[in-house]
Amino acid sequence: MSEQSVDILWVLFSAVLVALMQPGFTALEAGATRAKNSISTAIKNLSDFLIAFLVFVFFGASMMLGNSLNGWFSWQPLFFYHDSLTDLTLVLFHAMFASTAVTIISGAIAERTKYVAYILIALIVSLFIYPIQAHWIWHEAGWLAQLGFIDFAGSTVVHSVGGWAALAAILIIGPRIGRFDETADSHRFEQANLAHSALGVFLIWLGWIGFNGGSVLALNVLTGQVILNTMIAGAVGGISGLIISRILTGYYQVGSIMYGILSGLVAITASAHLASPFAAILIGFVGYLAYLWGQVVLAKLKIDDAIEAVPVHLFAGIAGTLAIPFLQTDHPLVEQLQIQLLGIVSVGMLSFCVTFAALWLINRIMPLRVSETDEILGLNISEHQASTSMFDLAHAMNIQATNQDFSKRIMIEPYSDASVIAAYYNNVTQAFNQISSEKEELIAETIHVANYDLLTGLAKRRLLVTELDKSLLRLKRQPQTNALFFIDLDGFKNVNDVHGHDAGDYLLKEAAKRIQASIRKVDLAARFGGDEFVILLEGIQNDSYAATVADKIIAAMQLDIELPCGEVVTISASVGLTLFDDQCHCSVDDLLKRADQAMYTAKKRGKSQWVIY
């Protein structure tokens, strides 16, 4: 690296631009995943930057930039770069690259991975993968560098490494619940906010100026050419996504445009210093095709990449690395192609195998994936207790549905995203409660009309028969003595004929009141038809109690009745009585016939008396 002040300043500024890619990736991933996991995704991106940066400045710099051991490994005392501005600048610049490689993995395994598990993944890649393979390629004594492998700014060193590690992690952790269900249109989940994702892509693209431009390690005409090629490839990738998505789906797909930009940028990263502007156009297009092919392959194999990081960074990274033989002149095309393939395979084996083996072992000891319940609930809540107004609303609605109680209004923080939905929901439940109340009243009224006589308020024959049948069934479980009275009003027809139907109705209501006053509240009195009434007494103490009730009814009926017209009339009652207990093997009809026959016997004997059958 040049020791000119302007060059050092440019590389430092480029490091800042590369660091700007971290909030870009955070916005991209949080917007492209479901809202219930967006906070978890953001926290993981923030955490992996902290880990990758610290691991690299403590250990990674020594493993990547230190004294080489046969081109495979290197080491130098910690902070060997501390006293040199040039070395300090280079280490800070590469620390940003290391954090970028790690953060690629975050989005790929989003929405189902434990936070602690992701921290372990970040450690594995930062400490055991990135600095080793970066030494192979970017250290002048590295074995791949000695062979002539070319990767200018990291299509393989950064992006393919992140892609290989992400692929290994996905295979261990598995797809999200419902991702590949055949019974539902679940191949796509609702994304939290694609506007945030688009903003993230802009930030990443801006950071890529430092990513590729800073890799020149100087500020000169080549720096300008690299930045121009970077911008062209990114733009062509985005335009390719725009046009091809329109051809394939009939719509301009936002995701295709965003990932087209990123795949174009990934592809040009290996050869930005060699390509002409025309070559950058072709590489940007090829990068998008590689991404598109990777997307199809992963879907067919049912490999669930939440934000398509593997197609973008691994497939487009490989495509960009393989473009080198067609642009360089130091080696014959076939020879350079073999070198590039060797580098791709070597880095792939290191990245994939180490990540897969480590995660397989860790997963045997401690599951990397959250429980099914936590995944459905969302990692914002289950992992970080980061509630949202929308979650609070859903939780309150679920409680109401579980308890089937919609009487209380749901209270949500005013002016939040869910407050409008809560207001409409409360209006719906209020209308529902009103309808339910009116419905219950109507049902109660219908039941009352069906079972009780509107004139007297006594039970109808239908309810009497039902209760009498239940009484017979109860006798089998609880032996006792019951009584059934059949009452007919003596003289009712004469009053009805002489004074009219209104007087007759009044007489029936008065008779019903006197009957109810003569029995217990637990006893059932029914209007059987016309001027006939039936009473059911359950659990009487003895036979004499039934006789006492019969006497009370007869005495009550003999009292004078003043009609609304002022006339005073007198009637009486003939009562038929039958008793039954658990030894009775009779039906409802049998009991009613017996009581009816006893009533007619009372009439024949002179009326105003009772007879037992």
| Tokens of residue 461, six digits | 């024959």
Residue 528's nearest CA partner among 571, 485, 559 is 485
pLDDT given for residue 387 in this prediction: 64
Per-residue confidence (pLDDT) for residue 389, from 0 to 100: 67
Residue 413's alpha-carbon distances to 32, 39, 387, 410, in angstroms, are: 26, 19, 12, 10
Percent of the chain whose pLDDT exceeds 90: 67
pLDDT at position 485 over 60? yes
Q: Model confidence over 433-477: pLDDT tens digits?
A: 787 777 878 888 888 888 899 899 999 998 999 999 999 988 888
pLDDT at 374 over 70: yes
In angstroms, the CA 289 to CA 54 distance is 36
Q: What tokens were used for 202?
A: 């802009």
Contact 487, 599 (CB under 8 A): yes
CA distance 219 to 212: 12
Please, which pLDDT band fits residue 154 given cuts at 50, 70 and 90?
very high
Q: Of the segments 38-42, 397-401, 548-552, which one has the largest average pLDDT value?
A: 548-552
Output the average pLDDT for the chain.
90
pLDDT on residue 413? 63
Considering Cα of 572, then 574, then 579, then 585, what sign does the dihedral take?
A: negative
pLDDT band at 185 (very low <50, low <70, confident <90, very high): very low
Taking 80 as the threshold, does the pLDDT of residue 398 lie above it? no
Residue 222 pLDDT more than 90? yes
In the chain, the amino acid numbered 272 is: A
Long-range contact pairs involving 252-259 (C-beta distance under 8 Å, separation at least 24): 254/194, 254/197, 254/198, 255/32, 255/194, 255/308, 258/28, 258/197, 258/198, 258/201, 259/291, 259/308, 259/311, 259/312
Lowest mean pLDDT across 133-137, 167-171, 579-583: 579-583
Tokens of 352: 């994939």
Question: Where residue 186 falls among pLDDT bands split at 50, 70, 90?
Answer: very low
Q: What is the mean pLDDT of residues 488-495?
A: 90
Q: 388 near 380, Cβ under 8 Å?
A: yes
The average pLDDT across 40-67 equals 93
Per-residue pLDDT band at 598 (split at 50, 70, 90) = very high
Cα angle: 532, vertex 537, 542; to 5 degrees? 125
pLDDT in tens, 274-306: 999 999 999 999 999 999 999 999 999 999 999
Residue 415 pLDDT > 80: no
Region for 369 from its dihedrals, namely left if φ exceeds 0, alpha if ψ lies in -120 to 50, beta otherwise:
beta
State percent of the chain over pLDDT 70: 96
The whole-number pLDDT of residue 184 equals 46
Separation of CA 541 from chain center: 63
Nearest Cα to Cα of residue 56 among 140, 163, 129: 129
Of the candidates 566, 589, 591, the one whose C-alpha atom is nearest the C-alpha of residue 581 is 591
232-280: pLDDT as tens digits: 999 999 999 999 999 998 988 999 999 999 999 999 999 999 999 999 9
- Does 420 have pLDDT greater than 90? no
Q: What band does 565 get if pLDDT is binned at 50, 70 and 90?
A: confident
Q: Mean pLDDT lowest for which of 92-106, 197-211, 249-263, 402-416? A: 402-416
Determine the Cα–Cα distance for residues 222 and 219; give it in Å rounded to an integer: 8
Residue 603 predicted with pLDDT over 50: yes
Averaged pLDDT for residues 321-340: 94
